[in-house]
Structure 1
Amino acid sequence: MWNTEIALVIMYCVTKGQRMSSTLNSDVEN
């Protein structure tokens, strides 16, 4: 079982990565 801290860090990294990828995609489209 994962620790709560690890789960929070993973979710934070995933959401941050999604935001970065979405911004990069929008920049490419524009």
Structure 2
Amino acid sequence: MPMHLTRREKRALSLLGALIVLGLLGMALL
């Protein structure tokens, strides 16, 4: 099952991933 993503979907996924990473870092620092 190949993951074929459009450019918009890739951008949305990268933004979502960045938010998750920032959230985890924030919880670790606080």
Same-fold call, TM cutoff 0.5: yes
Q: CA RMSD in A?
A: 0.6
Give the aligned length.
27
- Residue ranges of structure 2 left out of the alignment (5+ in a row): none
- Residue ranges of structure 1 left out of the alignment (5+ in a row): none
| Structure with greater helix percent | 1
Identity of aligned residues (%): 0
TM-score (norm: length of structure 2): 0.80
4+ residue segments displaced more than 6 Å: none
